Amino acid sequence: MTQITVTGMGRAGTDPDYATFNFTALGQAQTSAAAIEQAASHTNALMTVLDEAGVAETDRGAQHTNVNRRSRWDGDREVPEGWEARITISCRTFEPSQAFALLEAAASVPQLSIHGPEWQVDEENPAHDEARALAIANAARKAKSYAEASGLQLGTLVELIEGASAEPIPAMRVMRMSAEVDALQPAAQEVTAAITLVYRTKKGVGQDLKPLPRIQLR
């Protein structure tokens, strides 16, 4: 039985649903306990910032702690220089104004690295469904075109395989008025979907079709 396999692509634009932040609090001291205590102090300051910014407990990730010995090399000899502790925590925000307020306040916490905001599209965003529908339509058009060009007719759809992703976007667009930030807006995202369809084929009118290998097209 001859089959045609085609892959269709679909794209849909949408506004992001939320922004993610990742914070790392650093502590350095001569003992591991002191390094952890220092990092914990910076983390507590961050927790206060999150509270004041209105970030809900359910929108915060778990804390992770890493402790490592610090050292330097003096020729071929390793010289210990104490300990380093890092405590990481993530969170998400849903409004651009909240994201900017959090970014501005977190920048005042000492020994804190900030990664974000990174704007994301939720898995339940309708743009995913729109992209999938466009991908299926694109694949179906390809299959029909290839079948007609080969003197075949499309038969039953026997398999559908999905692979989808959300493309990265610019983190944000900042509009400035004078020397102060006037507005902070996330950039739009494009969601993509890839759908592979597998059809059985039938011989065309008046054609004596012999069994052929599967035809795979992209």
Domains of the chain in start order, with CATH, are 3-15+124-216 (3.30.110.170), 18-120 (3.30.70.2970)
pLDDT tens-digit profile of 13-54?
A: 999 999 999 999 999 999 999 999 999 999 999 999 999 999
Q: Which amino acid is at 74?
A: D
192 has a pLDDT exceeding 70: yes
C-alpha separations of 203 from 1, 36, 150, 163, 200 in Å: 10, 73, 10, 30, 10
> In angstroms, rounded to a whole number, what is the distance separating the alpha carbons of residues 96 and 50?
15
pLDDT at 204: 66
CA 99 to chain centre: 17
The enclosing H or E element of 15 equals none
pLDDT at 187: 80
**Nearest residue to 97 via CA among 43, 60, 61, 54:** 54
Residue found by looking up tokens 């006037």 in the block: 182
pLDDT greater than 60 at residue 200: yes
User: Can you give the pLDDT at residue 169?
Assistant: 42
List the beta strands (DSSP E) in the chain.
3-14, 18-29, 64-74, 77-93, 112-120, 152-166, 173-177, 180-185, 189-203, 215-216
Tell me: the pLDDT tens digits for 110-155?
A: 999 999 999 999 999 999 999 999 999 999 999 999 999 988 999 9
Whether 102 and 50 have beta carbons less than 8 Å apart is answered as yes
The whole-model pTM stands at 0.70
Average pLDDT, rounded, for the chain: 85
DSSP state of 171: S
The answer to whether residue 193 scores a pLDDT higher than 50 is yes
